[in-house]
Amino acid sequence: MKGAREYAELFKTGQYGKLYLASGSHARGLTFRIQILPEGEKAISNGDGNICINNNAVEVYGVISGQRGWTECYGWLHEGQWQKDFENSVQYAKKSRQDLENEIIQRKNKRKQMEKKEQDKLLAAYN
């Protein structure tokens, strides 16, 4: 759903410092919500893809318009420092994903070079 896909693909449901991120899905797409927990409080999970059930948690990112399950759009429900903190986490997650993708490409290229070297060696040895 609009405003949820990018984040839901980057993060798994769980507690990240004072933020609780809930990445889920339904029949029409991905869902994503953020809650803030009090300092030092551990989140009480409510299953994968669901927000935590802590009484003091405040949802700060979630459905801002549309009908849930059909046309919902996601965005910030409250503004504050958590937006900057979350954006830093997004940038870190994107960089980590890109680094991993680059490493996979480098490994594939190295393997192809080694295979070509072995093939060339075999072909050169044929008399």
In the prediction, which pLDDT does 117 show?
92
Which residue type, as a one-letter code, is found at position 44?
Answer: I
pLDDT digit string, tens, across residues 31-74: 999 999 999 999 999 999 999 999 999 999 999 998 777 888 99
Is residue 75 within 8 A of residue 87, CB to CB? The reply is no
Residue 1 has pLDDT above 60, yes or no: no
The Cα 101–Cα 54 span in angstroms is 36
In the prediction, which pLDDT does 38 show?
95
The Cα 51–Cα 77 span in angstroms is 15
In the prediction, which pLDDT does 114 show?
94
Residue 12 has pLDDT above 60, yes or no: yes
Apex 17 CA angle, 14 and 23, nearest 5: 25
The Cα 39–Cα 81 span in angstroms is 14
Domain that holds residue 83: 5-98
Q: Does any domain span residue 111?
A: no
Is residue 48 within 8 A of residue 24, CB to CB? The reply is yes
Q: Does any domain span residue 122?
A: no
Q: Does any domain span residue 67?
A: yes
For the entire predicted model, the pTM comes to: 0.79
Sequence-distant contacts of 53-58: CB under 8 A, at least 24 apart: 54/20, 57/20
Which pLDDT band holds residue 115 (cuts at 50, 70, 90)?
very high
Residue 99 has pLDDT above 80, yes or no: yes
Residue 101 has pLDDT above 60, yes or no: yes
- Number of compact structural domains in the chain: 1
DSSP letter, residue 71: T
Over residues 92-100, the mean pLDDT reads: 92
Q: Does any domain span residue 60?
A: yes
Q: Does any domain span residue 118?
A: no
Mean pLDDT over the full length of the chain: 92
**Torsion sign, CA atoms 115, 120, 123, 127:** negative
